[in-house]
Structure 1
């Protein structure tokens, strides 16, 4: 299976490290990908049986012919409400003069086109009476968001954790201008090809059970330090970055009415 290269994949990493997959009789190899496009492309190509797909980029993948079924929550609080975006934020450089979303007019903003951060940015602009035509969007892959802000290539970035925390720590004078606001749902569910999902429903259920156990483990405050350590072994993050993100990521495996609304 595949997981995203950020704290959103912690439930998967924990399921592997703590033996929840093995306990439920599931043999899993975890592969890391950096973007939603890479995840959906790999799923379509049959590179993995299951992979997360964010609500914001899944529709485009479906239009391109991706045939999948969602089986269990990966990240986000879509079961409880149709918006969940505290993990996303607008970070501005100290020299930008940006103190609010309204100040973005005429500015350069680094963002990964088509990502949830991009959708969130559009909604934040709309809320402030602006549109993407009022700014210059600079398409930037997630790993490059902090460096493009640091070098002055952009005035601000629309990013998610750990890049939000990393920017505030590494870019002189950087500050969070806006975080979340229930504008979108930064949510993803694990999906699989229907043939794989329904071929052995008992095996699929075991996989879902393992993910549910792992998500509960991640949510338990008593496990926070250990979970952060596990995260550093799977992706390029410091323990401090993982811990900072845990305050904003939501790990809920449930699927319900609000999931459809999201």
Structure 2
């Protein structure tokens, strides 16, 4: 009788443990994921904050058993330096820092957005309706910036030589004052200067082109990154982080006004300012990224980004996109699951 009681007690214990595991995992009975502590680099603007802040605020990190500390940075190279020193596990980077990914220092997991910050804004009185109308006009832009790249892409697409325009090199504030004072016909500039021009001049100006119009020739993606070493040693955590951020991107797309509030709260900034920032890019959802990775569109984005870097001499040689953009990895481990 004593032995029978022991056996029954053991069976009851096993049953309770089994039920406990099932309840904690949606009834699937799968192994509970161990909580992982990670540090995530972000930047204090809508682009650099939104996905990570949403994932934290809405519990998407918690759902993946990730204990996340958001660490604020002002530029991508500083984030990558911290990652290489093992002081940061994941990070958001803007367009420029992708040169370091091309060099092999970090891997790109997936894009966050495509910039449309750069715009070609024309005075209505100058009778400019399309890029073709720029011939003979005075255009203000800052040499060496992404805005000048937009201008070059627009002219190249139509076979227009720069010599056919009067292009003046000036900084952002000077561009704003020059178009306001009618010293230039066209401003080719990026945010926040675009906001200043459009708000102050209203119906006197109009945008005739932006970066997205030329994304096939030159895209400006921002991205989420990880070091090759960390990815190789911690694939499960990389997968969990990716799922949380992609879910946050879906939430951002479906709840843009709330996303603005979450960003303003995280960065202790005014919601009106953040509202302006949300107009500076095409905000990709997790579904957008899945489709872009599966149909090859993402490869074109990153290839055209490389072309821009070669044009500006930020890099000298083209590199196979698959060397650093984790398209196959994401397809195999996230999107085709």
Please identify which structure carries the higher helix content.
Answer: 2
Aligned counterpart in structure 1 of residue 47 of structure 2, from 1, 5, 8: 8
**Residue in structure 2 matched with residue 189 of structure 1 by the alignment:** 223
In 2, the alpha carbon distance for the partners of 1:105 and 1:45 equals: 48
Kept after mapping to 1: 8 A contact 2:101/2:108: no
Contact 2:41 2:71 in 1 (8 A): yes
1:230-249 per-residue CA deviation (whole Å, 9 max, x = no partner) reads 23333856437627835952
Q: Which residue of 1 aligns with 2:121?
A: 91
Which residue is equivalent to 2:80?
A: 43
Q: CA deviation at 1:164?
A: 3.6
Does residue 68 of structure 2 align to residue 27 of structure 1?
yes
Q: What is residue 80 of structure 1 aligned with on the other side? A: none
Task: Return the alpha-carbon distance in structure 2 between the equivalents of residues 195 and 129 of structure 1.
Answer: 45
- Structure 1 residues 3 and 113: CA distance shift in structure 2, 3 A: farther
The answer to whether the Cα contact below 8 Å between 2:56 and 2:68 also exists between their aligned partners in 1 is no
- Whether 2:234 is the aligned partner of 1:200: answer yes
Q: Work out which of the two has the higher radius of gyration on C-alpha atoms and give 1 or 2.
A: 2
TM-score w.r.t. length of structure 2: 0.57
**1:171-194 Cα shifts (integer Å, max 9, x gaps):** 463421223324432323211221
Q: Is the contact made by 2:79 and 2:88 (CA closer than 8 Å) also made in structure 1?
A: yes
Correspondence 1:126 to 2:126: no
Rounded to whole Å, the distance in 2 between the matches of 1:40 and 1:29 is 17
Asked if 2 retains the 8 angstrom alpha-carbon contact of 1:71 and 1:192, the reply is yes
Gaps spanning 5+ residues in structure 2: where?
1-39, 302-337
The alignment status of 1:260 with 2:299, answered yes or no, reads yes
Q: 1:137 to 1:191 in 2, by over 3 A?
A: farther
> Distance between the aligned counterparts of 1:112 and 1:228, measured in 2?
32
TM-score for the superposition, normalised by structure 1: 0.71
| Aligned positions, number | 239
Aligned to 2:282, what secondary structure does the other structure show?
Answer: coil
- Describe the shift of the 1:122–1:238 C-alpha distance in structure 2 as closer, same or farther (beyond 3 A): farther
User: Does residue 1:251 correspond to 2:281, yes or no?
Assistant: no
How large is the RMSD of aligned CA atoms in angstroms?
Answer: 3.6
Q: Does 1:152 align with 2:182?
A: no
CA contact (8 A) 1:69 1:194 kept: yes
Stretches of structure 1 that go unaligned for 5 or more consecutive residues are 77-84
Shift of 1:211: 0.3
* 3-state secondary structure, aligned to 1:67: coil
> 1 or 2 for the larger relative contact order (CA 8 Å, sep ≥6)?
1
What is the aligned partner in structure 2 of residue 82 from structure 1? none
Structure-2 change in CA distance of 1:186 and 1:195 (3 Å)? same
CA spacing shift, 1:59–1:70, aligned 2, 3 Å? closer
